[in-house]
Chains A and B, each alone.
Chain A
Amino acid sequence: MPAPGIARGNRPDLFSALLFAGLGTLGLILGRGLEAGHLAQMGPGFLPRVVSVLLIGVGLAVGLPALRRPAQAIDQVRLRPVAVITLSIVVFAYVATHLGFVLASLWLILAGSLADPGGRWRQILPLAVGLTAASALLFVYGLGVQIPLWPF
């Protein structure tokens, strides 16, 4: 019997329970207008509903026992790589649409490099230029990927 006052709750398991149950609920909400049909003639909503309910069930099955388990923390989240990588990809997409591949690629490599604080510009600048040129040649000219290179 553990002494009272000792922290309980396995956080990674609770978090995954939350993710499963949340996605299951989202599935139920998004699929609420779909016809379920019946076994002989399944409608489009039949399986999404079954899977969503199962997902909520798995969420509960993971989460409820985790409440009583000894406390375990989630690994520390370091915001810098998460934010920098995600943001540089999203902006890459925007820049590529409006300003072309070359600028987008330069942006992606220069901005993406900021995710690692140890970066040195003397190495990263030539890397950005070289990679952009090589990918433009290989993918756009060589393999014919349909993407404008320049803003004009």
Chain B
Amino acid sequence: MTFIDLLMLGLGEALTPANLSFCLLGALLGTLIGVLPGIGPTATIAVLLPITFYLPPLAGIIMLAGIYYGAQYGGSTTAVLVNLPGEASAVVTTLDGYQMAQQGRAGAALAVAALGSFFAGTVATFAIALAGPSLSRFALSFGPAEYVSLMVFGLLAATILASGPVLKAVGMILVGLLLGMVGTDAETGAERLTFGAIELFDGIDFIVIAIGLFGFSEIIANLERSGSAGVTLAPLTRLWPTREDFRRSWPAVLRGTGLGTLLGLLPGGGATLASFSAYSLEKKVSRHPEAFGTGVVEGVAAPEAANNAAAQSSFIPLLTLGIPSNNMMAMMLSAFMIHGITPGPTVLTNQPEIFWGLVASMWIGNLLLVIINLPMIGIWVKLLTVPYRLLYPAILLFCCIGVYSMNNRIFDVVLAAGFGLLGYAFRKARCEPGPLLLGFVLGPLLEANLRRAMLITQGDPGIFVERPISLVMLVATVILLALMILPSFRRSREEAFQEEEA
């Protein structure tokens, strides 16, 4: 089949009334949680994962993907209008977006953000469509040794590119790996680390950990941060940007899209890193870097394009190699697994309708988001006035139902409460929970492939350096480690994340 045929196949799948409505539903939900501070896409998808079990595979995955990229759009609305990032990747948008709103140009900022995001989403969707097939063919030649090296590289790169101290992130990955080993060993049937509890023989469910860490402990943390002052809305004026805005923002959107698409591919990349990097890039190429932070349109256009491009392109490693690159993709991986689909190179050959349907739905979803966001902005703004004390009991209930409905087991709810406490403890220790989830998801894959590789060579670890692809990944891993030890690299990484803290 030619490229066009495949795209048509995808469009045909994505445009069925059912799939189209789930795409719309996902985009709406994503915008909603992007707008509402206090609940992120990770927790939302964790809650909805068990429910997608009742849907056909493609519909469920389309909806969850819509939530993820929809949240990138919604997050910018609050960033501009109330100086509150609804989502981590919208933090930099507050810098110039809110200033523009203060100058009475909120409409222009929102329109530039939405149009820039749409452009970036379109480009990234095409990048998936173009890169997917060739990367999949490449990945089909992978043996267990290549997968082990790829995962080691991925896990390490994910910690280094993420913010926060590297050593703590490595610790969190290890905790995740250890949690992934709880349950019955797949090869020997031995029962591991279960405290003898029958409920743990099948291992801990991904949903339990995700809701505990990202749902319950987030609610507790939000409640602790009391005194969240009432929101003051910036006035919303005419929506259409001026000709000058367009002239200044299109090169920024192009740069943001390119950078975002590339960073989304990297393990640990994802939307947040992309938006921060795009902002600093704009500052570097600008002739007036000192004007940033006072309401320049490039400061909105570039990060908004970049976070959306990255949100989309981070699907590439998952869909082609079967390796999630950040915790959102770890969620998507388990969404696929629920439906009995193992993402990776074989999906493209065996179930092309899933891959192409998802790709096509992403483009349609981006189009829907422009419609949802621009004309309907007034409705979303009203939602901002719902106080958190009325919001969190609902989130609490949905989290409990979500965990329960996974296995119809109340034990899971109690276990999730325990992970809520653990997550709270890690927050107090200033450890980010993201890498834990990644380690938990990749752990079993890593172990199975490592055992297989060692079985093939009868215990000779030389296989990892004899096979060229594996060797390249290991060399890349060593280079990354060496970079971390270099003081100058460490300093510039710390500087890069300083802006994030501010």
Say yes or no: B413 contacts A61, CB within 8 Å.
no
Say yes or no: A108 contacts B178, CB within 8 Å.
no
Say yes or no: B414 contacts A93, CB within 8 Å.
yes
Contacts of B411 in A (CB 8 A): 93
Q: Mark A9-47, 1 if CB is under 8 A from B, else 0.
A: 000110110011001100100110011001111111101
Say yes or no: B410 contacts A96, CB within 8 Å.
yes
Say yes or no: B167 contacts A58, CB within 8 Å.
yes
CA distance A68 to B216 in the complex (A): 34
Say yes or no: A124 contacts B171, CB within 8 Å.
no
Contacts of B376 in A (CB 8 A): none
Quick check: is A85 within 8 A (CB to CB) of the other chain? Answer: yes
Contacts of A82 in B (CB 8 A): 220, 421, 424
Contacts of A88 in B (CB 8 A): 396
Q: A-B pairs with CB below 8 Å: how many? A: 192
By beta carbon, the residue of chain A nearest B195 is: A30
Question: Which of B393, B421, B428, B454 gathers the greatest number of chain A CB atoms within 10 Å?
Answer: B393
> Which of the residues A58, A75, A89, A105 comes within 8 Å of B413, measured between beta carbons?
A89
Say yes or no: A108 contacts B393, CB within 8 Å.
yes
Quick check: is A151 within 8 A (CB to CB) of the other chain? Answer: no
Say yes or no: A139 contacts B401, CB within 8 Å.
yes
Contacts of B431 in A (CB 8 A): 16, 19
CA distance A59 to B171 in the complex (A): 7
What's the least CB distance linking B158 to chain A, in Å?
16
Q: A39-B459, A44-B187 are in contact. Are A89 and B401 (CB under 8 A)?
A: no
Contacts of B388 in A (CB 8 A): 116
What's the least CB distance linking A56 to chain B, in Å?
10
Say yes or no: B178 contacts A105, CB within 8 Å.
no
Q: How large is the interface on A (under 10, 10 to 19, 20 to 34, 35 or more residues)?
A: 35 or more
Quick check: is A147 within 8 A (CB to CB) of the other chain? Answer: yes
Contacts of B175 in A (CB 8 A): 20, 23, 55
Contacts of A86 in B (CB 8 A): 216, 220, 417, 420-421
Contacts of A108 in B (CB 8 A): 393, 396-397, 400
What's the least CB distance linking A37 to chain B, in Å?
9
Contacts of A97 in B (CB 8 A): 410
Q: How large is the interface on B (under 10, 10 to 19, 20 to 34, 35 or more residues)?
A: 35 or more
CA distance A95 to B121 in the complex (A): 46
Quick check: is B429 within 8 A (CB to CB) of the other chain? Answer: yes
> Which of the residues B195, B223, B410, B461 comes within 8 Å of A81, measured between beta carbons?
B223
> Which of the residues A27, A55, A81, A143 comes within 8 Å of B51, measured between beta carbons?
A143
Quick check: is B315 within 8 A (CB to CB) of the other chain? Answer: no
Say yes or no: B54 contacts A48, CB within 8 Å.
no
Contacts of B410 in A (CB 8 A): 93-94, 96-97
Q: Mark A81-123, 1 if CB is under 8 A from B, else 0.
A: 1100110111011101100000001001100110110110001
Quick check: is A71 within 8 A (CB to CB) of the other chain? Answer: no
What's the least CB distance linking B134 to chain A, in Å?
34
Quick check: is B367 within 8 A (CB to CB) of the other chain? Answer: no
Q: A19-B429, A44-B185 are in contact. Are A143 and B396 (CB under 8 A)?
A: no
Quick check: is A127 within 8 A (CB to CB) of the other chain? Answer: yes
Say yes or no: A112 contacts B393, CB within 8 Å.
yes
Quick check: is B156 within 8 A (CB to CB) of the other chain? Answer: no
Contacts of B425 in A (CB 8 A): 15, 19
CA distance A80 to B219 in the complex (A): 12
Contacts of A51 in B (CB 8 A): 174, 177-178, 181
Contacts of B398 in A (CB 8 A): 135
Quick check: is A67 within 8 A (CB to CB) of the other chain? Answer: no
Closest CB pairs A-B (n = 8): A40-B459, A16-B429, A39-B459, A81-B223, A44-B185, A44-B190, A89-B417, A58-B171
25 contacts between A and B (CB under 8 A): A19-B426, A27-B178, A39-B461, A40-B459, A44-B187, A44-B192, A47-B447, A51-B177, A54-B174, A55-B171, A55-B178, A62-B167, A78-B223, A78-B226, A82-B220, A92-B400, A92-B413, A93-B413, A96-B404, A112-B392, A127-B394, A135-B397, A135-B401, A144-B54, A146-B408
Q: Which residues of B contact A (CB under 8 A)?
A: 51, 54, 165, 167-168, 170-171, 174-175, 177-178, 181, 185, 187-188, 190, 192-195, 216, 219-220, 223-224, 226, 388-390, 392-394, 396-398, 400-401, 404-405, 408, 410-411, 413-414, 416-417, 420-421, 424-426, 428-431, 447, 450-451, 454-455, 457-461
